[in-house]
Amino acid sequence: MQINDYIKQLNTSSDKAAEKVIQKIIEKGKPAVPKLIVAAKESASPRIQKWSLQALGAIGDKRAKPVLKHALSDSRMTVRLHALRGLARMKDSKSSSSIINLLTDESGGIRVNALQALIEIDHCSRKIAIIPLLSDSQWYVRQQACICCKKFQIKNAKSVLKTLAKKDSKKAVRKAAKERLKVFKIQLTEVTLL
């Protein structure tokens, strides 16, 4: 099957079906990149566009990075979301500043996925940008922000985390805050033992 045939198969609403096709495109490798770039810019086919963004990230070719970063500013939330996921799949630490810009996006889904992307690329160029999300209106964003605080060892958030661990209305947030606070306790114990 040709690359164009696989790209046409990305016109699906099924995440599972799209991932199967993306795996086949990954097998084609870097020769698929130019055609995926064209598809990722084609707004007339939204499903193909969004899955092409993820396929570009999964292949990891540097030619895809400008396309993915540009898509982060698209007016459509779904395009921003899939561009984010594409960058996360690339695991390019230099993309963290572009991802951090989405921590203030109007969509809670984008904010939580931006936090997840930072974890996936295992890099955060401005850790302080995560702290305001501990007070986000969406509980799942607060939970993910707690997880980020643990992952990136953000110490400035200790007082907010204590409040979340005791008073947040969602059990998942309280649990995530407590997990981060446990790490503080362990780190303090290690310092005392030295």
* Token couple for 148: 């980020």
CB of 103 closer than 8 Å to CB of 129: yes
Instruction: Please give the single-letter amino acid code of residue 170.
Output: K
Ordered per-residue pLDDT tens for the chain, 194 residues: 899 999 999 999 999 999 999 999 999 999 999 999 999 998 889 999 999 999 999 999 999 999 999 999 999 999 999 999 999 999 988 889 999 999 999 999 999 999 999 999 999 889 999 999 999 999 999 999 999 999 998 988 999 999 999 999 999 999 999 998 987 765 544 434 43
From the number of C-beta atoms within 10 Å of its C-beta (0-12, 13-18, 19+), residue 166 rates as: exposed
From the number of C-beta atoms within 10 Å of its C-beta (0-12, 13-18, 19+), residue 185 rates as: exposed
CA 128 to chain centre: 17
